[in-house]
Structure 1
């Protein structure tokens, strides 16, 4: 059966909240975010010694991608905080970026109070809500976007805004030395790779991979500039495909996880390792990837692999995001579920609110 024949009826029946449209609008999200952040008037944070990004779930995923894919271009370290509180070392030489797609994330709003008390410098990235009101009231430099290219309204599927909004903010404030030419080339590449990954295309690598992950727990393994993408794909496997998944980075994985492949046997037999590979990895990492694959297979687990094809580290990371968005959507549809629904997250938030 062709990919188009497989997914067309599933999309019609289960994708009632337009996830397919959002996934395939990544290039438009990215273009909008980068163009709009370039127009902002923002201060140069010359004396900033460190950057904290406070955000949860899908709202923090962009930071994971930027932190790994742009590591060699960052002018200050970035620490991602997924909590209510900020570390005691946050001070006036710290830039705290408050990221919340909805603008209502309670942990991020709590982190704002800590940042304000510590007299940290502040930036905001959100689509509205209480956080946008705080930014406007207190004149906090911010990127408040209208997510017109994310009709599903799911943060994890609005990553074009999260990634390129953050890239734009960091570049504009002097904290990221990444040339506009490379960014523009990456934006152009997103359109090309988006067409190739689309679930309606017969040769889509994402569609084909989704069939290999049916009824499997998934462990995603990546390294260097693709570690952030590994994190994103695991998150989307959880939320979009309702699949048990997690991720590990190489070389850290090689120092413990390999010994954990022995028991329980049933778990290993039901697990597929998705290895994200790249010719841009350091030679030592490439060798580690080959050995890691061998050891996983010798322990009886299945391995599937995707090798990034783009020419730069940033473009490869974006390639993996588009691959992962389509992969997890395709897998979710094959389980006959609405890929936008997050009933247990919503149930938890409802109960937590009482």
Structure 2
């Protein structure tokens, strides 16, 4: 079978595949950047993670991951302002790869006015400047990445903040993540032929369709991430939804207009170890 991905460099002009293949090494480097971080203990009632696009997805992952473990409610904020309940007992973490994201800078200023406990992460920009000026802890990450390829540098420093605050102990899970990431990279590498490469087979299957990606619990942000990666990298329309909510509305949409649904593809992200029989 001819492998249509052999000439990937001709359409992956940004080198995105090479960037994301460095994910395990990026995790290690991101953790090294936070080795000296010290977060002063303080009384908090809730946590807000603010960001947009490829920055905000780190908040989604943490929110889903700690859903049943964090004693504090975690809210992911994608807006110019903050919820009305944000205040002096709010830990507000601001993520902007460039440091100049308009919405994130605006919500950062709202947090300052509300007296929130703030921490910021960026590769520079106004977010770093304002944080340094105000004495707010800032974690500086490497520049030169596409924001959507810099997830390791936005996610794992956040996890270290949660560790410093005693919310979670993630050492073993981070090591597992790095190990599994290496295995996934090997299994789906560019030199792995089509028949043995799950990523290539899925890409070939959904080509020229409207992908619909469904996730459950901690896989919902993964479904969102797939959708946005397809949007930005492949310049394709794609959407995501979550189980079980989609069982009450989305599924009905598939029962009519076959001329539209026939052009669509479905990707179901599942984990049989944890999902209930009803899923």
TM-score by length of 1: 0.74
> Map of 1:119-130 to 2, 5 A cutoff?
119-130=115-126
2:153 maps to what in 1? 161
2:206 maps to what in 1? 213
> Map of 1:227-238 to 2, 5 A cutoff?
227-238=220-231
2:7 maps to what in 1? 9
SS of residue in 1 equivalent to 2:84? coil
1:180 maps to what in 2? 171
1:346 maps to what in 2? none
1: CA distance, partners of 2:41 / 2:273:
32
2: CA distance, partners of 1:77 / 1:100:
22
Bigger proportion of residues as helix: 1
Residue 31 of structure 2 corresponds to residue 34 of structure 1: yes
> Map of 1:306-321 to 2, 5 A cutoff?
none
Residue 273 of structure 2 corresponds to residue 276 of structure 1: no
Task: Give 1:240 shift.
Answer: 0.8
**Structure 2 CA distance for partners of 1:235 and 1:55, relative to 1, 3 Å:** same
1:50 maps to what in 2? 46
Task: Give 1:2 shift.
Answer: 5.2
2: CA distance, partners of 1:120 / 1:242:
38
Is the CA contact 1:61–1:162 (under 8 Å) kept in the aligned structure 2?
no
1:23 maps to what in 2? 20
**Moved segments of 4+, more than 4 Å:** none
Bigger drift between 181-190 and 88-97 goes to: 181-190
1: CA distance, partners of 2:11 / 2:92:
39
Answer 1 or 2: higher relative contact order, Cα 8 Å, separation at least 6: 1
Is the CA contact 2:63–2:76 (under 8 Å) kept in the aligned structure 1?
no
The number of residues matched between the two structures is 277
TM-score by length of 2: 0.93
Is the CA contact 2:214–2:223 (under 8 Å) kept in the aligned structure 1?
yes
Structure 2: any 5+ residue segments left out of the alignment? none
SS of residue in 1 equivalent to 2:240? strand
Is the CA contact 2:50–2:59 (under 8 Å) kept in the aligned structure 1?
no
Task: Give 1:192 shift.
Answer: 2.0
SS of residue in 2 equivalent to 1:218? strand
Task: Give 1:15 shift.
Answer: 2.4
Task: Give 1:237 shift.
Answer: 1.0
**Structure 2 CA distance for partners of 1:69 and 1:200, relative to 1, 3 Å:** farther
SS of residue in 2 equivalent to 1:277? coil
1:179-235 per-residue CA deviation (whole Å, 9 max, x = no partner) reads: 412322322322222221223212221111100001100110010121111110111
